Amino acid sequence: MQDVDVCALVLADHVGGDGPPLLLLHGGSGSHRHWDRVFAALAQSFAVHSPDLPGYGLSPDAPDLADGDAYVALAAATLSPLVPTTGVHVAGFSFGGAVAAGVARAWGARVARLSLIGPGGFGRAEGRRLAIRSRADTDGSDAAHRDVIRHNLGATMFADPATADAAAISQQLWNIAHARYDSLNVSHQQRLLDDLAHVTCPLQVIWGARDAYAYPTPVQRAERVRAVRPDARIDLVTDAGHWAQYERPDVIVRLLLDFHAPPPAPSEIP
């Protein structure tokens, strides 16, 4: 890994709300926009930070990193100035789930609670086949490109292909255009379970029950998590695919608030 001046690498952070700090980490080929459908609702209970990770969105480029370990270490260092030194709630999606677990391991007691949605970091899924199309197989027009994105979202990210609406397609096009780091360096590592075994805070893992990336099934991946964290809370979301917080935002908000929101203060007795 090349030498990096971490202090000079300032991430673009999208902030809203008031309350305990909640850090949201996006998925691969993504940006803070992966959380658009749940951000406002979560900001009613938390001071939400939804940054673009290094090499994504509006944040600076990631350096030429040799492996995923170096990237996760960089993420932990560059995310650190965004949130307080104690009581940080963290949620990560897909690639961001693998990053979040590594960050939580590095930050230790600084993290109050950790949620992962369809996390990567289980290694390369040998035998998994996804019906992904390439723009190279089209006439190259913008309309054909949007059709490829619509198909790929329906095949990989959503349980219901109709969820790949115009807004989802436009967001995916923007995210891809602003992605300059290969998330597979992290997502294809066999890292998640080892990181979770060293994370001491309460843990929640959420999968869409029809997550095409959770190979062979979300239930089998949940069993692997429970083998290292028997105390983990596992939530399966019916009729949701990989990008559950876009497809079922109401359910994801409810699950995250139920796990992260502080209990109400006891009523004062006069």
- Where do the domains of the chain lie? 6-129+181-260
Q: Length of the chain in residues, anyone?
A: 270
**What pLDDT does 9 receive?**
87
The predicted pLDDT at position 139 comes to 82
**What is the pLDDT confidence band of residue 1, given thresholds at 50, 70 and 90?**
very low
Q: What's the fold here for domain 6-129+181-260?
A: Rossmann fold (3.40.50)
- % of the chain residues with pLDDT over 70: 93
Question: Which pLDDT band, with edges at 50, 70 and 90, does 238 fall under?
Answer: very high
| Mean pLDDT for the stretch of residues 55-80 | 92
pLDDT tens per residue, range 147-159: 999 999 999 999 9
Q: Which of 56, 63, 64 is nearest to 177 (CA)?
A: 56
Query: What is the C-alpha separation between 229 and 222, in angstroms, rounded?
Result: 10
Copy the structure tokens of residue 149. 């994105």
pLDDT at 66 over 70: no
Average pLDDT over residues 94-110: 98
* Backbone phi and psi for residue 90, each to the nearest 5 degrees, phi listed first: -130, 135
Q: What pTM does this model have?
A: 0.94
Measured CA to CA in angstroms, residue 258 lies from 33, 151, 204 at distances of 23, 34, 11
Mean pLDDT to the nearest integer, 3-21: 85
Mean pLDDT of the chain: 94
Q: Is the pLDDT of residue 4 over 60?
A: no
